[in-house]
Amino acid sequence: MKTEIIQFAGDVPGNSIELRVLRFEGKDSRAKSAYLQSSLHGSELPGQAALHFLVPMLEKAANDGRIAGNITVVPQANPIGSAQWIAHQHLGRFEFFSSTNFNRSFPLLENFDTSSLPATDAPKALAERLKAQLLRLALPHEIVLDLHCDDESESYLYIHQAFLPEMYDLASALGSTAILSWDSTADAAFEEACAHPVLQLPKAEQKARAVTTVEFRGLGDVNIDTGKADAEGLYKFLVHRGVIVDENVTLAIDFNGPVTPLENVEMIRAPQGGMILFHVDIGAEVKAGDKLVTVVTIPGDSSGDVTLTAPQAGRILTRRGHRYTRRGDDLLKLLGSRRSENAKPGSLES
């Protein structure tokens, strides 16, 4: 394994960040290569835990001469967001200066030529330079896995429709319970930026690729057991795709969860602010009209309770981690079987 430290000057004198990149050189130029990154939102740590336990597995494979394709690993992809704290609270989803989600507004390139992207020392804002560098690292690879998590959630994947059903292998390896399929999110998330040049290729070449956002359950699901299990799933997938050679590992493709278009996802939002009382847990199957959540707007007076019900039958995929909400906040994701009446272009959440 080779470790590279990429230095970025800050936007004002006396400030800088470092991006740590781990590289494993493959032995077979014909094998697929893979890029894995985590913590683009700073404190989304289940993916970081998975990579923490995956790296020693990759080192052993490298020592045994079993790395077939090049592998690049960036365990902490966002040093800017990782350092953002206010009043003892970590806030890594949005850049403080611009209020832009760190996983939005990536450059959409028509091909794999990254020469037009700003260099690490270009006269551009630090966040823009970091995003450009992450694309430079990722785009040379046929497999790109961006590891995230939700608030409280099952393990699931975002996958462009062009890569399905071939990517059921990843869902099977990771034990994902659902796939959210998309065509265009229009917000230029990292996954979309990595998929964009791939989608200009012939269909057969697209099918051989794998680009996805992995949602490893919830923010609090950071522990040794899940980290090791997720690492083993990633390893099994890399073996299955021929990036690593390991005759002791096989993958049964047995994913049978829902594949839900983004427009079929019901985003249940708070009509008023207040205390959140959930009626359902993640993974629950609900019918249209079932109670989902009550927002208590006047504590001690039930006349102020606002109870939200399921607009259609489906599966509860995620819940918010906090229990005190503002008007308009997202509270739940419900996977439906038909288009949501509130569906709109773009990502599900800000």
Q: What CATH number did the domain enclosing 320 receive?
A: 2.40.50.100
Q: Helix count (H) and strand count (E) of the chain?
A: 7, 20
Co-location of 268 and 188 in the same domain = no
Element (H, E) at 249: none
Residues of the chain with pLDDT under 70: none
Torsion of Cα atoms, 174 then 203 then 190 then 151, to 10°? -40
We report the CATH number of the domain holding residue 90 as 3.40.630.10
Give the per-residue pLDDT at 161.
Answer: 96
Co-location of 82 and 217 in the same domain = yes
Co-location of 180 and 302 in the same domain = no
Q: Strand runs (DSSP E) across 177-220, as ranges? A: 178-182, 210-218
The answer to whether position 350 is within a domain reads no
Give the per-residue pLDDT at 44.
Answer: 97
Residues 6+ apart with CB under 8 A from 187: 104, 105, 346, 347
Angle at 234 between CA 259 and CA 187, to 5 degrees: 50
Report how far residue 105's alpha carbon sits from residue 185's, in angstroms, rounded to the nearest whole number.
11
Count CB neighbours of 1 within 10 A.
15
The answer to whether position 29 is within a domain reads yes
Co-location of 296 and 248 in the same domain = no
> Of 37, 25, 51, whose CA–CA distance to 234 is shortest?
51
Give the per-residue pLDDT at 344.
Answer: 84
The answer to whether position 153 is within a domain reads yes
Co-location of 166 and 313 in the same domain = no
Co-location of 132 and 159 in the same domain = yes
The answer to whether the CB of 79 falls within 8 A of the CB of 40 is: no
The domain boundary, picked from 257, 288, 311, lies at 257
The domain boundary, picked from 257, 272, 287, lies at 257
> Of 188, 147, 180, 189, whose CA–CA distance to 161 is shortest?
180
Co-location of 332 and 293 in the same domain = yes
Co-location of 69 and 181 in the same domain = yes
The answer to whether position 349 is within a domain reads no
The answer to whether position 346 is within a domain reads no
The answer to whether position 342 is within a domain reads no
Co-location of 249 and 220 in the same domain = yes
Q: How far is CA 326 from CA 51, 90, 94, 270, in A?
A: 34, 19, 18, 7
DSSP three-state, residue 127:
helix
Co-location of 247 and 285 in the same domain = no
The answer to whether position 341 is within a domain reads no
Look up tokens 């990771």; give the residue: 174
The domain boundary, picked from 208, 239, 257, lies at 257
The answer to whether position 280 is within a domain reads yes
Co-location of 208 and 229 in the same domain = yes
The answer to whether the CB of 37 falls within 8 A of the CB of 22 is: no
Would you call 344 exposed, middle or buried from its count of C-beta atoms within 10 A (0-12, 13-18, 19+)?
exposed
Co-location of 175 and 266 in the same domain = no
Residue 111 lies in domain: 2-257
Give the per-residue pLDDT at 130.
Answer: 98
What is the number of domains present in the chain?
2
The answer to whether the CB of 78 falls within 8 A of the CB of 92 is: yes
